[in-house]
Amino acid sequence: MPSAPNTSKFVAIVTGANQGIGKAIVAQLAHRPTSSLIYLAARDEKRGNEAVDELKNGLPADTSIAFLHLDVTNEASINAAAARVKSEAGIVNVLINNAGVAAKGSAFDGEIAKWTVTTNYTGTRKTTQAFLPLIPENGRIVNVSSTMGRLGQVSKELQDQFSSKSLTLDGLDKLMDQFVASVADGTYASKGWPQQAYGVSKVGVTAFSRVLARQPEITSKNILVAACCPGWVRTNMGGEAAHLSVEDGAKTPVWLATADKQEILEGGKLENGLFYRDRKHVEW
């Protein structure tokens, strides 16, 4: 019989964490003066384990980092990861959805739109759904989005739909599906969409955070939900010209994961599910 999960530790999961911002988030969470179990989640097992081996040196005695195999584009992988964490830890205090992709250069077609949205938006949505039952009262969900996902890049009609307080998760799925379909058939511009797969995928991530924050399973457990932009960071995605280090890029996600909730919500002045950059609320 397996041993009972250890619920005395702070348990966090960071997706897409074998490199870049995700890896820096894991490092910063692990070096807090709190007994912790940090799951470094990634789809590449070899690189994920190498990242764990690198980060585990010098950790506080009561903190550990474990590799978690998780491909956010594969539902079976997501469900297997959730089952493992349920068995080992029992809870997830913080889920940080960091995994994401962006096509290089100016290439733009139906396949690129589908790949980008499937990873960045659908992957975030399905991963959150799988782990949500493990998130306890006052837990947190942090979705790494981007300023490139600004709402103003879509038409006024689409802006109204994305920002509507009556938008449902199913309705949001349909909007994202409409974008992919309109790119595939070449009608995207006439329907109010930009020639920007990454940007639209991040519109979806930020909108998901807003809609998720209204769900009964979130409000009943007082779970904090937030989307954030890490800034322009020197990563494989951001490029060498970016002015921020990965350590800088990790600061806002880590702040949202660990800071006092009253500070994040400005003493209750802000709604749940908003967008942040540089450790402060900014307009979407």
Active-site residue list: 198
The CA radius of gyration of the chain, in Å to the nearest whole number, is: 18
Cα angle at 82 between 77 and 83, to 5 degrees? 100
Cα angle at 231 between 142 and 207, to 5 degrees? 45
The token pair at 235 is 């990563």
Residue closest to 258 by CA, chosen among 6, 11, 5: 11
Enumerate residues 6+ apart whose C-beta is below 8 A from 61. none
Q: Is 257 left (phi over 0), alpha (psi -120 to 50) or beta?
A: alpha
Cα separations in angstroms, 235 against 4, 213, 232, 255, 284: 39, 30, 9, 20, 24
Cβ–Cβ contacts within 10 Å for residue 193, how many? 24
